[in-house]
Amino acid sequence: MNEQLVAHMIEAAIAQLKFSYAPYSEFKVGASLLAGSGKIYTGCNIENAAYTPSNCAERTAFFKAVSEGERKFHAICIAGGKDGILTEYTAPCGVCRQVMMEFCSPDTFKVILAISKEQYKIYTLNEMLPFGFGPANLV
Ligand code: THU
């Protein structure tokens, strides 16, 4: 991934923090997802008074994209922090990693954890979810 694209994805993820609906945890998360078409889909976390219906920023982005016809993905960028203040890397939860496993190649899909445009780390999905279970297991 070239640096300009990474910077653009980080900006898009951070821009989502203002839409985060997190009145319970007050932990705001933004995500940007680069789809096969080249389009970037965004998402934020959306909490719920009943807690379990809450949705992470990553899944919001994935479900927006899949519901618009996307089936292939190159990379996701995630930025999050208490009150939307970015001081540490926010890694995807296990449920979101499993959703990535459904649509993404574990060896090539990139997970970008960002604090700022200058401070970020890139992992493959395989590093995030080793020995994951996916569609290939069912053929
Ligand atoms: N959250 C995300 O949206 N993505 C992550 O990668 C970690 C956690 C959300 C879920 C919940 O709304 C809040 O952060 C605290 O767990």
Residue-averaged pLDDT of the chain: 98
The answer, yes or no, to whether any atom of ligand 1 lies below 6 A from the CB of 70, is no
Quick one: which of 76, 68, 71, 62 has its CA closest to 109? 76
Instruction: Give pLDDT tens digits for 26-72.
Output: 999 999 999 999 999 999 999 999 999 999 999 999 999 999 999 99
Express as a percent the part of the chain with pLDDT over 90. 99
Q: CA-CA distance, 11 to 126, in Å (whole number)?
A: 25
pLDDT value, residue 129: 98
Q: Does residue 99 surpass a pLDDT of 90?
A: yes
pLDDT value, residue 1: 85
Mean pLDDT of 64-87: 98
| Residue 52 Cα to ligand 1 middle (Å) | 12
Q: Does residue 9 surpass a pLDDT of 90?
A: yes
Catalytic pick among 11, 58, 70, 127: 58
pTM: 0.97
Q: Does residue 6 surpass a pLDDT of 90?
A: yes
DSSP 51: S
| Residue 105 Cα to ligand 1 middle (Å) | 23
Residue nearest to atom 1 of ligand 1 (CA): 56
